[in-house]
Chain A
Amino acid sequence: MQEEKGGIPRREFFRAGLRGVALAAIAGGGGYLVTRRIAARQVWQLDPEKCTQCGKCATNCVLKPSAVKCVHAFAMCGYCELCTGYFEPEPNELTTAAENQLCPVAAIRRTYVEDPYFEYEIDEALCIGCGKCVEGCRAFGNGSLFLQVRHDRCLNCNECAIAAACPADAFRRVPAERAYLYRPGYSPVRGKS
């Protein structure tokens, strides 16, 4: 590199000035953000009260199948024999035959508990998060089925593809320590696992 009279030192001086300005801007901007509001960590979640079960959770997630799954709040469930989340609107019979089921992928397990109660469990490996059962349960039942982003699956994309498509604006970022949004008046149950 050749030292030129005047030219290169002047450029170097200019660069040093620019560098100083840039560093001040980075430090200032970063410092401002740090002092203002800093979150430890945030994850995506959907508010079941805003959800309209449009079905986009099943189709718009970058994961196939979606990271949104149906969740069952057992403590809210009526254990109905005729579960409108499980059965088609006009089932031929109240049996587990596929033709009677609302779920397109047979992800709900129906087991007899005692007369006249049946327990419904979601098989998350099968569930695609379409929300058909949620819609059925909310329309005629207790609303114990609802959709949630499952954080063992969710990649936590910077822009959630479902959030971008959600017609009800139900998705938002929540603190990672409280990563689920439950139905009002319900808190998770500790029972037999």
Chain B
Amino acid sequence: MRSRIHTLTFLVLLAAWSAAWGVERFPPPEFTETGHQLPQDQYPRPAAAVTQYVDVVVLFVSLVLATFLALKLRSRNWVFALMIACLVYFGFWRQGCVCPIGAIQNITVAFFDGAYSVPLPVLAFFLLPLVFTLFFGRSFCAAVCPLGAIQDVVVVYPVRVPAWLSHALRLLAYAYLGGAVVFAATGAAFLICRYDPFVGFFRLSGSLGMLLFGGAMLALGLFVGRPYCRFLCPYGVVLAWLSRASSRRVTITPEQCVRCRLCEDACPFGAIQKPVEPPTPAERAAGRRRLAWLLGLLPLLVIVGFAAGGALGTPFSKLHIIVKTAERVRAEEMGEVAGTTDESDAFRESGVPGEELYATARLLRARFALGGQLFGAWVGLVVGGMLIYLSVRRRREDYEADRGTCLACGRCYDYCPVELRRRKAEPKSQIPDSR
């Protein structure tokens, strides 16, 4: 026993000695007696690149199919079937990564970080749904996105969210988009991936917080249709704007709306707009005045946001590991805190001088200060823009799916008597029976 401890002591001394001299402590043996062969080193290769390109092809085909099923075939059942297929493929089989929502961050990093090069499949994942939405509306949301699909299957008892509340909540998605871009551009974090509510379900594993958040979203989704899509999804913000400019999109009725009001409660996502009477001259004048006020308010909101956003820079920057480490190291060196953390230990082990770390941290701080200001200005712009959007009264004759927020799921078709008549008039068509 004692000899063992002696051996150990000897080894420690030997180690200290050899570390100091930088030699191999124990030369690898030759195995002259047995001629022992070293086992082969195993380095399994990543999955073949082709799988990612297969994903891109599947995405493209799904988008074509979703557009065809929602706009041409006008069948909720087929859209639902495709949605389930995509949930299984992109969600549970490919485990939800990489997705177009998260790709926002890769694209942002590609613009801001010269060292990063964006993989081609990721770029395709980001762009394909954008292009489709620009021409055909949000068929991606309807049937392709696995995050949308997992929420869509739990829509059981949708309640109507009051318009003021849903408009206010939609601002969250804009803020989330702004935040995600700021954090990706500064290299601090991929917020969208970190707080993805459903990827834990797709992988069938995840941190407790992630699973609780996802579970809460699904529980809420029983009563509030697709809460993530409507109030949080940052990609949905972009898609909604592209969808507003789209040349084709979901129309509730195939022909002339008869204003029967049957579709009024058809949409679980609150995307059906009622007809709006033309304003009286007095209302028109009041509306003009209000619009003028709000247009004047908009730059003010942007400026206030910009100024207030500066205060966000410092707290935001604490999420960046280098800033966090620099603060910790400095605090330790000033004797403000006792003990060390993994970060400060790792930094000291690296042998980099403290000044270098502080300089990098200062640079990042400055970047975050600008990022915070731009984020504040963005929030100001979005709030002002939303007020203007709500104050403008558009004349509408028919019941229409909102160009931006309609998710093209096709539920409303089955409610429209004109649509049902059309289906009867086309007995030879392949349209399946609706529920």
Contacts and interface: CB of A to CB of B under 8 A. Distances in A.
A complexed with B:
yes
A97 interface: no
B64 interface: no
B107 A42 contact: no
B205 interface: yes
Given A40-B49, A42-B119, A74 B11 contact: no
Contact of A140 (B12, B244, B247, B346): B12
A159 B118 contact: no
A7 B119 CA distance: 44
A37 B28 contact: no
A62 B8 contact: no
Nearest to B43: A180
From DSSP, what is the main secondary structure of chain A's interface residues? loop
B134 A26 contact: yes
A176 B46 contact: yes
Contact of B46 (A43, A80, A94, A166): A43
A37 B39 contact: no
Given A52-B346, A167-B345, A176-B49, A40 B40 contact: no
B134 A23 contact: yes
B7 A188 contact: no
A110 interface: no
A78 B52 contact: no
B298 interface: no
A151 B28 contact: no
A90 B97 CA distance: 45
A38 B118 contact: yes
A164 interface: yes
A48 interface: no
A193 B37 CA distance: 9
B246 A19 contact: yes
B328 to A, nearest CB: 10
Given A26-B134, A41-B119, A140 B11 contact: yes
Contacts of A90: 5, 8
Contact of A18 (B27, B31, B49, B245): B245
Scoring A38, A75, A156, A158 by chain B CB atoms within 10 A of each residue's CB, the highest score goes to A158
A157 to B, nearest CB: 5
B117 A193 contact: no
Given A39-B119, A150-B44, A192-B37, A52 B28 contact: no
A63 to B, nearest CB: 7
Nearest to A52: B346
A192 to B, nearest CB: 4
A76 interface: yes
A164 B119 CA distance: 20
B122 to A, nearest CB: 8
Given A26-B130, A76-B28, A142-B26, A18 B39 contact: no
A90 B193 CA distance: 44
Interface string A89-126: 11111100000000000000000011101010100000
Contacts of B189: 159, 164
Nearest to B26: A78
B46 A22 contact: no
13 contacts: A7-B395, A15-B247, A23-B134, A37-B118, A39-B117, A42-B119, A114-B36, A155-B95, A158-B106, A168-B350, A169-B346, A176-B46, A176-B49
Interface of A: 1-2, 4, 7, 15-16, 18-19, 22-23, 26, 29-30, 33-34, 36-43, 50, 52, 54, 56, 62-64, 71-80, 82, 84, 89-94, 113-115, 117, 119, 121, 139-142, 148, 150-152, 154-159, 161, 164, 166-169, 173, 176, 179-180, 188-193
- What 6 A-B pairs are tightest by C-beta distance, nearest first? A78-B26, A159-B190, A168-B346, A152-B44, A37-B117, A167-B342
